[in-house]
Structure 1
Amino acid sequence: MAISSLQEHPGSEVTVWMADGIYPISEPLVFGPRELGEEGTLVFKAQQDAQPVISGGVEISGWIKNSEGLWEAALPKELDETSGFRELFISGKRAARARFPNEGYLRVKQAGVDRRTNFYFQKGDFPIPVNLEGVELVFLHDWSISRIGIQEIDTAADQLIAVDSIGARIPAFFTIDNWEPHPRYFLENAPEFLDADYEWIFLKSQNKVLLKLPQNVNPTNSKVSIPFSQGLIVVEGEENYPVKNIHFEGITFQYSKWEIPEKGYSGIQACHFDPRPSNEGWAVVPAAIISIWSENITFTDCNFRNLGGSGIWFGPGSKNCKIIDSSLKDIAGNGIMIGEGQDRIVNGQPWWKSAPEQVASGNVVENSTISQVGSQFYGAVGIWCGLTAQTAIKNNVLFDLPYTGISVGWMWSPEATPARENIISGNHIHEIMNILSDGGGIYLLGLQPESKVLDNRIHGVKVNAGRAESNGMFLDEGITGVLVEGNLVYDIAKSPLRFHRATTNLVRGNFFFSDDSNPPIRYNTTDEEAIEKVDNLFFSEGEPSYQKELSHAISRWEKKQRKKRKR
């Protein structure tokens, strides 16, 4: 009805008022230029006091308690022929897929000869599954993870053999023991691991779910849901015919499915991974909301939760799209993605060389809250921007993340690309890098002239799990001509600011608090003299005035943010 109105009255504005309740879908809602026309505005808006939910989930019912005290149920009929599922939610809260150990990690005893497909473990480290169907190895690298099936467990040799390479095939340094001789791992989805309340497993051969609950809890009194729809919204224009002016206001987007490749997920960085079995470029964990070749697509006061891939992606050709006053929570992959990487080919060359005007530009993320991303793929980031221009990320709160908060850039050299003038300002980033290493509250990569990192508050980086450092801000290879000003960084596992293979940049008026064993700024393969430093204040934890100065700095930052909000 709304689309037909736009077709009949081009240039008009049509509002679809959404009442309270759940709007179930089994496949994404697709908006294309041929249906909407070139002009006009389409708005999906919650009625006053309503909380509409666009849901790609399906509820599991028919629970019975078996002789072992576990609850079991068959999958709904619409799921019988699917490839399975990997997430289950009880009343909107993620339940743990049965794992061993329940907390913490096991450690590799020794990598196998090829350092790629197998390793040795200590005898008795974990219960040996009788059936390996569906059992998954979750292996942690420094800044990414692998999730991969198990081909064999040799109990005589105490050797675990995966179905494919553990870690990305390219780059070549993704070997089992490259970062640590005894890296971390755990195992998932075997009946032998189902020993804690609110754990579950899926037995694909029997098409049923097993769920362990406390003695007095009955699943029939809760809503047990699994994602079904592979994505929720697709806005898909064409290079010369973009989709324009679609707005979503006050809507919740919940439950979206993504199944890892048959040969496993081997992450590279920020939810980019080997596209097995193909060797062409890198793939990326898809988002529930995808917008490409689009302009002025906005999400205001929306909620995004319990999503099986990434959250939102403003991809190739996205211009002036916005996420404002919204919340993203419990996302399996990246929270928000803007722009793209290097791989797309235009006229026989990478797009950023042959068609730089196609760069995603003018996009905004503002006043939004992002937490618990990377629920499955720990190398995820809160907000990831690839090669983008004039992107503004401002006044957001990001916390409770396994890896980096905000990541901008996607070129491991100072080679020129369309990336430029990106602004990261006024964000509060804390309790991040909770699982992986070699990242930070803010991570910048590649040449992006006239970009600025301003007035951000970063703290709570306590884990330094792997070989590489975890920092407050990490400015990586090729960073040149960036202004780092007015930032407050404290309670960091290593240095508040780190440069790696960077050139000339300006660091001015920052407040850096560090412990006695780490410098406020670290320079890896970077000429310290090339980094201009003006009016920064450095405090070391052993100084008598440390706590007093930190309290004053936090108060000043909060006061400045309140003034911004009033404006």
Structure 2
Amino acid sequence: MVLLQSSVWAGLTTLYVSPEGNDQWSGRSADPKQNEGPLATLDAARLKIRQLKAADPEGTFEVQLRGGVYSLKETVVFEPEDSGSQAAPVVYKAYPEEEPVFTGGVPIKGWKKMDKDPAGTPEAARGKLWVAEIPKTPGSEWYIRSLYDGETLLNRAASGNLKKREPDQKRTFDFNTHGKGIYQEVRLEFEGPLVEPFERHVDFRDNDLRAWKNMHDIELALTDRGWLRNLIPLERVDVKNKVAHLSVAPTYQPHNFKRPYEVLNAIDYLDEPGEWVVNTLEGKIYMWPKNDVSDMDVIAPLLQEFIRVEGKEKGPFAQHICFEGLTFMHGLRDTLQEDDKGLQHDWEMYDKGNAVIRFRNAEDCAFTSNTIKSSSGTGIRLDMHCQRIEIASNHLKYLGGGGIVLSGYAPGTVDVNKNNVVHDNYIHHVGTLLWHSPAIFIAQSGHNEITHNTIHDLPYNGIVVSGCRPHEFYHINRLPFRRAWMNSIRVEECMPYILKGLESDRPISIDHFLPLLHARENKIVMNDISRVLQKLHDGNAIYFSAMGSNNLAERNYMHQNFGTRGALRLDDNPSYTIIKENVITSCEKGIGVKGLCEIENNFVFTTETFLRGRGASRKPAALKRNIFFPAGSSTSEIGGLYIGSSTKNREGVPLWARVNSSEDNLYFTTHKRDPFLPKTGIGTDLATGKTVVPGKEPVNFLYADPLFDDEAVQQGWFRFKEGSPAEKLGIEPIDLREVGSSLAEKHFPGIDEEASAKSHESHSNSLP
């Protein structure tokens, strides 16, 4: 999508908005002049453009926003009547060389040193607390879940890891533990009575919790699964029986006694400088400031959705509305609600207004060269019918939720979220509060281009492409209350496919449901992804599961991603995927697959070259012209020549014996402590044990040095020196010099197997 330059638009009308403006003025002047000049608010500009368009439907309109801070208390909604046209989109942009900043927060003023500490204040904090009144705000009840000092997120009081109390009577499998386990282990029948809903209580130990009066301010952070962190307010605490009751159902039964939980926002745990708690009942915020309060700019997020571009479900759609060069801060964090519907594992919510910027039932719009930072929720959402939306050259950083979400209709026959572009965005340090939030989440959305984005420093996944797993379709009659996909499936549209699957020999096959799964034919190309899984585990730099077919992952650079199940992974129930010309380095696991795929011309410099998870097809992949160059010896656990994640379940089965086909691949390691060399030496086909001449004889896995040009590799050009056996096998060099976003610095550490192995060992030792 290319926007017309305003300087060449015929009959261009420009309006101006300024913090010094007035909504009663015309907006035709950039500066105030004798009771005339710019407007004061974005919404006034929207309404003025609507009036001007009604009088001049063929006109071209632009709004320029002067630098300064704009406080938003309500969502600005752009509707079909605010649309532009293909020849003349309506553009809202920054005034040249200035930075307009929209904040959804409310300043917290009037801090006073306390002469008497609140009940429950820890010994360490006594005599050190300051207090401020919660500002009065109109509208619905407001719960403060985060605070900022300017752009810096302040630490909410937290207990640290606590252990649950295990009841005397051990729980049996109750159908609510883990979805796929229901089908595989106990095979819950399609017809029958409803299963009991999730339990909403946590058994605690000692005096870890008490019956606080401001109960709904207190949250439990639950990590009952390593891939999710629920933050759920309390409803009540039974101190006598040591049972805490949650206000909303968790994603999984909250009874995993091996995993810790935390108490958030309780005065009892305000025990370090810089921490704070809020007491809505008293209308007060308490803080042990780390710095001089008079130097702080404390802000509490109030608004969740800043801008929504929304048309009607079946048209007319909001169209040709563009935003450029704007900055957004201090959005409200999402909190689970009773009527929420979840995407996979509740990593995000379905069709929910929890992002700063939201397009819903929109077409041909653009959000370019903007910044979203220091905000507690998700950055950008494209919901339901969204087509040809361009999200490009934006900087998203320090967000409590995810970066960008593309979420079409729930499983069913409606396929209208597609052909969007997510290009050249720089996304880092997101998911700081909701740890499970991906940088880019594509759910039930297809034919999109996800290109040249740089992603780094995440608690969990980088890019997710997902749909609905087969077992979830089969449980809709028995567990309709489950939040993750279950309560959003379009049952009437799906029923013919469900019944057909139930009658088949392989009901769990994803093939039965492919017409209902619309995350297909996405192109994920030239993205730079590093340092994922900083908090959680069982995740990946690029993750696929239960999606439509023919997705492409090509020329992505994945590095410094430790603790993964494969830097690039096809998890449960994937459909056919193309994995081509990716480079994976400084990771201990390379590619993990549980379904059919083509793996072609990838360079995998990892300590375990290939991971096959349980539940996969016996021979799920075709390997062609790949280079596997692990940091470890091929005979060691981290060498990766054999299938599996540990020596004991590797069973001596080599990689090439577990794939559909292998052709013209190359394997080599220069591991110094435990060198590996086939009996027949360099030039051996590891699959046959015979010496071969590459390029003249068929080969599966040639053991030979690919002769990388180290100097070129450090610049991102993975090419070979003259005489390389890789070239004789038809392996093409991979040029990643332009990988990632133009907004981020490029870094190519080169190939250092020993350093990679040591980095892996250091990371593993530091994990909790």
**TM-score tier after normalising by the smaller chain length:** 0.7 to 0.9
Gaps of 5+ in 1: 169-173, 275-281, 344-349, 464-468
The verdict on how the C-alpha distance between 1:181 and 1:460 changes in structure 2, with shifts beyond 3 A counting, is: farther
Which of residues 383, 388, 396 in structure 2 aligns to 1:315?
383
Asked if 2 retains the 8 angstrom alpha-carbon contact of 1:146 and 1:167, the reply is yes
For residues 425 and 69 of structure 2, what CA distance do their matches in structure 1 show?
Answer: 23
Query: Corresponding residue for 2:271?
Result: 195
Letter in 2 for 1:200: W
For residues 530 and 457 of structure 2, what CA distance do their matches in structure 1 show?
Answer: 7
Query: Corresponding residue for 1:110?
Result: 166
Which of residues 46, 71, 94 in structure 2 aligns to 1:46?
94
The verdict on how the C-alpha distance between 1:445 and 1:11 changes in structure 2, with shifts beyond 3 A counting, is: farther
For residues 160 and 551 of structure 1, what CA distance do their matches in structure 2 show?
Answer: 60
Asked if 1 retains the 8 angstrom alpha-carbon contact of 2:444 and 2:547, the reply is no
1:459 paired to 2:559:
yes
Q: C-alpha displacement at 1:271, in angstroms?
A: 4.3
Q: C-alpha displacement at 1:257, in angstroms?
A: 2.0
Query: Corresponding residue for 2:591?
Result: 497
Which of residues 707, 723, 736 in structure 2 aligns to 1:561?
736
Query: Corresponding residue for 2:529?
Result: 429
Query: Corresponding residue for 1:441?
Result: 541
Q: C-alpha displacement at 1:471, in angstroms?
A: 2.6
Q: C-alpha displacement at 1:336, in angstroms?
A: 0.4
The verdict on how the C-alpha distance between 1:374 and 1:19 changes in structure 2, with shifts beyond 3 A counting, is: same
Query: Corresponding residue for 1:526?
Result: 616
Query: Corresponding residue for 2:178?
Result: none
In the TM superposition, what whole-angstrom CA distance separates every residue of 1:103-123 from its partner, at most 9, and x where no partner exists? xx3333536856844444554
Which of residues 118, 130, 133 in structure 2 aligns to 1:74?
133
Asked if 2 retains the 8 angstrom alpha-carbon contact of 1:146 and 1:166, the reply is no
Instruction: Write the mapping of 1:105-254 to structure 2, written as runs, cut at 5 A.
Output: 105-110=161-166, 116-123=199-206, 126=208, 131=213, 133=215, 134-140=217-223, 141-151=225-235, 159-164=242-247, 167-168=250-251, 174-177=252-255, 181-214=257-290, 217-238=291-312, 239-254=314-329
Q: Provide the secondary structure at the position in 2 that maps to 1:317.
A: strand
The verdict on how the C-alpha distance between 1:533 and 1:205 changes in structure 2, with shifts beyond 3 A counting, is: same
Asked if 1 retains the 8 angstrom alpha-carbon contact of 2:399 and 2:430, the reply is yes
Letter in 2 for 1:203: N
In the TM superposition, what whole-angstrom CA distance separates every residue of 1:499-522 from its partner, at most 9, and x where no partner exists? 22x1x310011122333xx45232
Percent identity over the alignment is 22
Which of residues 22, 26, 49 in structure 1 aligns to 2:73?
26
Asked if 2 retains the 8 angstrom alpha-carbon contact of 1:60 and 1:76, the reply is yes
Q: Provide the secondary structure at the position in 2 that maps to 1:338.
A: strand
In the TM superposition, what whole-angstrom CA distance separates every residue of 1:372-428 from its partner, at most 9, and x where no partner exists? 222222111100011122111111111111111001121323322343220111111
For residues 316 and 422 of structure 1, what CA distance do their matches in structure 2 show?
Answer: 17
The verdict on how the C-alpha distance between 1:443 and 1:564 changes in structure 2, with shifts beyond 3 A counting, is: closer
Query: Corresponding residue for 1:288?
Result: 356
Q: C-alpha displacement at 1:448, in angstroms?
A: 2.7
Q: Provide the secondary structure at the position in 2 that maps to 1:4.
A: helix
The verdict on how the C-alpha distance between 1:122 and 1:549 changes in structure 2, with shifts beyond 3 A counting, is: farther
Asked if 2 retains the 8 angstrom alpha-carbon contact of 1:7 and 1:36, the reply is no
The verdict on how the C-alpha distance between 1:391 and 1:550 changes in structure 2, with shifts beyond 3 A counting, is: farther
Q: C-alpha displacement at 1:132, in angstroms?
A: 5.9
The verdict on how the C-alpha distance between 1:29 and 1:375 changes in structure 2, with shifts beyond 3 A counting, is: same
Letter in 2 for 1:143: W
Aligned length: 525
Q: C-alpha displacement at 1:566, in angstroms?
A: 12
The verdict on how the C-alpha distance between 1:162 and 1:427 changes in structure 2, with shifts beyond 3 A counting, is: same
1:540 paired to 2:630:
yes
For residues 462 and 121 of structure 1, what CA distance do their matches in structure 2 show?
Answer: 33
Q: C-alpha displacement at 1:484, in angstroms?
A: 0.3
The verdict on how the C-alpha distance between 1:209 and 1:80 changes in structure 2, with shifts beyond 3 A counting, is: farther
In the TM superposition, what whole-angstrom CA distance separates every residue of 1:222-281 from its partner, at most 9, and x where no partner exists? 22111122310010112221111111111101122245246699977464579xxxxxxx
For residues 304 and 127 of structure 1, what CA distance do their matches in structure 2 show?
Answer: 36
The verdict on how the C-alpha distance between 1:389 and 1:130 changes in structure 2, with shifts beyond 3 A counting, is: closer
In the TM superposition, what whole-angstrom CA distance separates every residue of 1:457-510 from its partner, at most 9, and x where no partner exists? 1133334xxxxx6331111234333210111223335x321122x1x3100111
Asked if 2 retains the 8 angstrom alpha-carbon contact of 1:166 and 1:266, the reply is no
Q: Provide the secondary structure at the position in 2 that maps to 1:257.
A: coil
For residues 481 and 552 of structure 1, what CA distance do their matches in structure 2 show?
Answer: 36
Asked if 2 retains the 8 angstrom alpha-carbon contact of 1:257 and 1:309, the reply is yes
Which of residues 486, 501, 507 in structure 1 aligns to 2:599?
507
Asked if 2 retains the 8 angstrom alpha-carbon contact of 1:148 and 1:264, the reply is no
Letter in 1 for 2:221: V
Q: Provide the secondary structure at the position in 1 that maps to 2:57.
A: coil
Query: Corresponding residue for 1:474?
Result: 569
In the TM superposition, what whole-angstrom CA distance separates every residue of 1:297-329 from its partner, at most 9, and x where no partner exists? 111110012333311111111111111111111
Q: Provide the secondary structure at the position in 1 that maps to 2:619.
A: helix
Q: C-alpha displacement at 1:553, in angstroms?
A: 8.7
Asked if 1 retains the 8 angstrom alpha-carbon contact of 2:163 and 2:257, the reply is no
Q: C-alpha displacement at 1:555, in angstroms?
A: 2.7
Which of residues 310, 325, 340 in structure 1 aligns to 2:393?
325
TM-score w.r.t. length of structure 2:
0.63
For residues 539 and 250 of structure 1, what CA distance do their matches in structure 2 show?
Answer: 43
In the TM superposition, what whole-angstrom CA distance separates every residue of 1:47-99 from its partner, at most 9, and x where no partner exists? 22201112211111111111322121112232696332111100111111111
The verdict on how the C-alpha distance between 1:123 and 1:309 changes in structure 2, with shifts beyond 3 A counting, is: same
**Structure ID, larger Rg:** 2
Using CA pairs below 8 Å that are at least 6 residues apart, which structure has the higher relative contact order? 1
Q: Provide the secondary structure at the position in 1 that maps to 2:305.
A: coil
Asked if 2 retains the 8 angstrom alpha-carbon contact of 1:85 and 1:227, the reply is yes
Letter in 1 for 2:250: G
User: Which structure has the highest strand share of the two?
Assistant: 1
389-398 vs 75-84, which deviates more?
Answer: 75-84
Considering only aligned residues, what root-mean-square deviation do their CA atoms show, in Å?
A: 3.1
TM-score w.r.t. length of structure 1:
0.84
Asked if 1 retains the 8 angstrom alpha-carbon contact of 2:399 and 2:431, the reply is yes
The verdict on how the C-alpha distance between 1:555 and 1:122 changes in structure 2, with shifts beyond 3 A counting, is: same
For residues 188 and 401 of structure 1, what CA distance do their matches in structure 2 show?
Answer: 21
For residues 139 and 77 of structure 2, what CA distance do their matches in structure 1 show?
Answer: 25
